[in-house]
Amino acid sequence: MSYPPDKLLYMRIVVLAGGIGGARFLRGLKQAAPDADITVIGNTGDDIHLFGLKVCPDLDTVMYTLGGGINEEQGWGRKDESFHVKEELAAYGVGPEWFGLGDRDFATHIVRTQMLGAGYPLSAVTEALCARWKPGVRLLPMSDDRVETHVAVDMDGERRAIHFQEYWVKLRASVEAQAIVPVGAEQAKPAPGVLEAIAEADVILFPPSNPVVSVGTILAVPGIREAIAEAGVPVVGLSPIVGDAPVRGMADKVLAAVGVESTAAAVATHYGSGLLDGWLVDTVDAGAVGEVEAAGIRCRAVPLMMTDVDATAEMARQALALAGEVRA
Ligand code: FO1
């Protein structure tokens, strides 16, 4: 059974999203289910304070991508961007120079930081920013509390914990990650609306986002994993690993840190049948279907390359069809 088209009209879909992969998948999902009520629970573990400003890369990537303001080539940051402020800061010797904040993007961080300083929680600030960008989804941070992903690395003869962005952007994941720690997650509470959206969902989707530092960090907020497992609705994920390598990014580096192989089947079993009902792998990984199904997760092999919005919309349709199948 697959969902009949009229069901898409009022379907409530919850998506746990990281940055680029999550945002691009959402664009396809919106095309596949234009009238669905979509709530996005965004990862905030990548957030970083720079120049006195709060930067939320994954929330902004979703907001800009769905709002038409993204730099399409990069997948993050604003299109038509300039970097005068960054250059001026560098002229004063103020860094970090390795993180590319553009002038247009700066405005978002200034507004966000001003509102947070005035006492608004991140969820309210995100709603205010989205009033401009109109992403066509309800974008919620996973938590209003500060959670910051740190990566333990061995450098210069000692073990150090560095901010995720320093690991990802400055070091380009070139050093082996010994551990991934979502600092603050244990004490964090889900943001207002998160648990309610999960409880009211008809289907929950894990896009091809990073299973450790994006979806994994969202699931590390106490209450979110439990709410999804207990929602009693289909939970379907799409593999971010195709042909034993990440489709984009460096997910293999952080998967190794949590002892998970970079294969579509290993990521499915990492989430586990207690959480996932269905899993899509790419056609090149069709050989993994049996292994995933043996782990108690319904699995189909379909094309999973987000080459354009049409191809991504077809992936979203397949995910919803699999949700319909596991529900039957
Ligand atoms: N990624 C980079 O590779 N280099 C950058 O300089 C960089 C800056 C940046 C600024 C704002 C923003 O929203 C995202 C930015 N990203 C940059 C992307 C980001 O570091 C990561 O890809 C995500 O955090 C992972 O989802």
Q: Is the CB of 246 under 6 A from ligand 1?
A: no
Q: For position 248, what pLDDT does the model report?
A: 74
DSSP 176: P
Q: For position 2, what pLDDT does the model report?
A: 46
* Candidate from 51, 73, 76, 98 with most ligand 1 atoms within 8 A of CB, to mutate: 76
The pLDDT of residue 52 is above 50: yes
DSSP H stretches of helix in the chain:
5-10, 20-32, 57-67, 84-91, 103-117, 122-133, 164-165, 194-200, 215-219, 224-230, 251-257, 264-271, 289-294, 309-327
Q: Is the CB of 136 under 6 A from ligand 1?
A: no
Q: For position 8, what pLDDT does the model report?
A: 55
5-46+187-327 is classed CATH 3.40.50.10680: yes
The pLDDT of residue 1 is above 90: no
Q: Is the CB of 64 under 6 A from ligand 1?
A: no
pLDDT band of 250, cuts 50, 70, 90? confident
Please give the Cα distance from 237 to 147 (Å, whole number): 24
Over residues 95-116, mean pLDDT = 97
State the distance from the centre of ligand 1 to the C-alpha of 63, rounded, in angstroms: 14
Mean pLDDT of the chain: 95
Over residues 211-240, mean pLDDT = 97
- Note the pLDDT tens digit of each residue in 165-208: 999 999 999 999 999 999 999 999 999 999 999 999 999 999 99
The pLDDT of residue 9 is above 70: no
The pLDDT of residue 125 is above 90: yes
Q: Is the CB of 60 under 6 A from ligand 1?
A: yes
